[in-house]
Amino acid sequence: MTDFSQKLLRWHRHSNKRQMPWKGEKDPYKIWLSEVILQQTRVEQGWGYYEKFIQRFPSICDLAKADDAAVFKLWEGLGYYNRCKNLLFTARYICKNLHGKFPEKYEDVLALKGVGSYTASAICSFAYNQPYAVVDGNVFRVLSRIYGIKKATDSTDGKQYFTTLAQENLDKKHPALYNQAIMDFGATVCKPANPACADCIMNDICIAHQNGMVNQLPVKEKILSKKTRYLNWFVIVVKNEVLVHLRTGKDIWQNLNEFYCLETDTKPDWNNESVADYVNNQFSLKPLSITVSKGFSQQLTHRQIKAVFISIELQKKPDTLRSYAWLPLDQLSGLAFPKIINEYLESV
């Protein structure tokens, strides 16, 4: 078992407080139902639907015998109704062809209509304690940051790479515990936009944290093709020096400079409190001053950039950002920046 796996299970035993009604469940029907509901739905929204389904249809054959209209009515509001169609089809198949007994072999579970590799792994590990690692968005994010992996998680090569890595890290004796732990860890600690790095049990082995790359991982190819991208630049100043970073990789503005950049899916509502919270979570430091700019935008050929600049002054350079370039403020004018950053610099 890897050092990461040991730390993860220790965190799960002593610090994981996340509650969900299907947690610890061993009934494959209930596990399958929860996974189908959560395929395109947040846990907070899916929770109530799961409880209503279990109350109305306590067994898979109860679901199989139900009228389509009654099941679709109960599903109402969840959207992606193809999931509901597959749910009914599979329930009826299991009741009619398998005498109501959910299959146990991974290959047989995977063959069920509407079941992919993630759901099959979840069912086999949680219900039967079989050694199959789940790989979802939380797992991609955690592993990419821990190991500092820059492969795109939504590419064919990346998916295969992360699936193999997840399987290598899996605790083969306690796969259910491990899978629950890594998903909960990604949901509550190693979060997408504001992970709790400062207090994280992994920060001594996390390559992304140690190299100031947390906000750059995981890499996703589809993000690079979004029509609107939201970039949040932190202008970090320490004793008249400012952090600058050269953009590399297959993205816009290659070989131009920028400040510390956090990309988000939507426009964040930054204020002094949320900025201070982010800086404390990332760097264990309190800003001496905070200034949030107005919004800036730039239209590129195939996408629009929406940006905000958060200027912060710190007492010292964050340990995780010492490898970045720090230049005197009066040298910024000699660097090449994207147009949108130059517009900001001209406004201050």
Catalytic residues: 35
H or E stretch including 306? strand 304-313
The phi, psi pair for 239, rounded to 5°, reads 50, 55
**How many angstroms separate the CA atoms of 326 and 334, rounded?**
14
**What's the one-letter identity of residue 315?**
Q
The phi, psi pair for 192, rounded to 5°, reads -60, -60
Token duo for residue 212: 């100031």
> Nearest CA to 140 among 41, 69, 219?
219
**Helix (H, G, I), strand (E, B), or coil: what is residue 64?**
helix
**What's the one-letter identity of residue 168?**
E
The phi, psi pair for 230, rounded to 5°, reads -110, 110
**How many angstroms separate the CA atoms of 158 and 135, rounded?**
12
For 36, other C-beta atoms within 10 Å of its C-beta total: 23
The beta strands (E) that lie in 91-163 are given as: none
Sign of the alpha-carbon torsion through 203, 205, 210, 212: negative
For 58, other C-beta atoms within 10 Å of its C-beta total: 13
